[in-house]
Amino acid sequence: MNESHASPRLGALLSVLAILGVLGALVLLIVEIWNGETEDPYAGMLLHKIERGSLEITVRSEGLLESEENHEFKSKVRGRNAILWIVESGTFVNEGDELVLDALFIQEQVDERTKYANWSQSGADHSASRLAKAEIDLEAYQNGRFQTEKLSAEQRIAVAESTLQTAEDQLKHVQLMESSGFLSETQLERSHFAVENAKRNLAQMHTALDVLKNFTYEEQLKTLKGRLTSVSATHKANVERAMADNSRRDRAVEELDYCTIKADRSGLVIHPNAAAWERAPVAEGTLVWKDQVLLIMPDLKKMQVKIGVHESSVDRVKVGLWDRVVIAD
């Protein structure tokens, strides 16, 4: 009996509470609308009103600031040489200031080439004296010793002919005396032997003269000429060697002056880009080769900027567009 009366009362109470809740919510909504305090979902955001117009696009790229005209300082020394000292990049220099120093290896080359040049010159001088002696020996034999030997041989022939003539005259006298019975046959034979001996001696003298003119002279002449040719060739080789060594020494001495590079004008000097070296940048101890650019002096009145634009932005870059260059610290 009691349970049946409690259930209707509870339901009525819940209904009343529900109605009151709805009414409260309506009241709050009306108050918020009335006061204009409805929460804005975009409150605190930066907004921009969208309109049709031009869209500004900025293309950013890194590049290099350089001069249109650069004065280059190159190495003029042959081979690869180590840098002893080089001026710092970004230094302002005056005309005549030293920029690069590289002299150690070339100084050794000068000393070495001077030594070889002196040796070669000594050999050339010695061969020159031998050549002069060979020429004198040839001239002395042709116009001196041979002529003397020839005259001596002709003089001996003349004496032999005179001796033969005397022996023949003596033989005639002996024959006349022997036929008259005043001399013996032995004396006649002795006179015949003297004549024959004088003839053989004369023939021997003629043979010696022929050998002198036709064999000894030619043999000595060819020997002396051959010696002269040999000495002349040796001297020519020594002279060429001396000239070559002297040329190498002179070239090394000339390159010694190139080892100190001085500024031929005033201005700012910088080191080339790392890409321009094709290797590590030049510094003290770096090996460099001939015609390698060591320093650059840019013309500050003719500067330019080189940049690389990505292929996706190339079509957006046109001639005449404004640009802004920012130089990094």
Q: What is the pLDDT of residues 92-141, one digit of tens each?
A: 999 988 877 776 677 777 888 888 889 999 999 999 999 999 999 999 98
Residue 220 predicted with pLDDT over 60? yes
Q: Do both 117 and 180 map to the same domain?
A: yes
Q: Do both 111 and 247 map to the same domain?
A: yes
Residue 7 predicted with pLDDT over 80? no
Angle between helices 217-258 and 104-140 (to 10 degrees): 160
Of 14-28, 165-179, 231-245, 305-319, give the lowest mean pLDDT range: 14-28
Q: Do both 138 and 235 map to the same domain?
A: yes
Residue 28 lies in a domain: no
Residue 10 predicted with pLDDT over 70? no
Q: Do both 290 and 228 map to the same domain?
A: no
Residue 124: in which H helix or E strand, if any? helix 104-140
- Of 293, 288, 289, 291, residue with least CA distance to 276: 293
Residue 193 predicted with pLDDT over 60? yes
Residue 179 predicted with pLDDT over 80? no
Q: What's the pLDDT score for residue 211?
A: 92
Q: Do both 136 and 236 map to the same domain?
A: yes
Domains held by the chain: number = 2
Distances (CA, A) of 137 to 127, 141, 174, 226, 239: 15, 6, 52, 12, 22
Indicate which CATH number applies to the domain containing 290.
2.40.50.100
Q: What's the pLDDT score for residue 100?
A: 79
Condensed to tens digits (0 to 9), the pLDDT of residues 240-251 reads 999 998 988 888
DSSP 95: T
Residue 187 predicted with pLDDT over 70? yes
Rounded CA-CA distance 165/61 in Å is 125
In sequence order, what are the residues at sequence separation of 6 or more whose Cβ sits closer than 8 angstroms to the Cβ of residue 306? 63, 64, 66
Q: What's the pLDDT score for residue 203?
A: 92
Rounded CA-CA distance 316/309 in Å is 10
Residue 148 lies in a domain: yes
Rounded CA-CA distance 234/203 in Å is 45
Q: What's the pLDDT score for residue 237?
A: 93
Using an 8 Å Cβ cutoff, are 143 and 150 in contact?
no
Rounded CA-CA distance 124/243 in Å is 10
Q: What's the pLDDT score for residue 272?
A: 81
Indicate which CATH number applies to the domain containing 240.
1.10.287.1490
Contacts by 139-144, CB closer than 8 A, 24 or more apart: 141/220, 141/221, 141/224, 142/221
Of 30-34, 89-93, 149-153, give the lowest mean pLDDT range: 30-34
Domain span at 291: 65-103+260-304
In sequence order, what are the residues at sequence separation of 6 or more whose Cβ sits closer than 8 angstroms to the Cβ of residue 167? 191, 194, 195, 197, 198
Residue 74 predicted with pLDDT over 50? yes
Q: What is the pTM of this model?
A: 0.50
Rounded CA-CA distance 224/216 in Å is 12
Residue 149 predicted with pLDDT over 70? yes
Rounded CA-CA distance 277/142 in Å is 70
pLDDT averaged over every residue in the chain? 82
Token output for 94: 């005056």
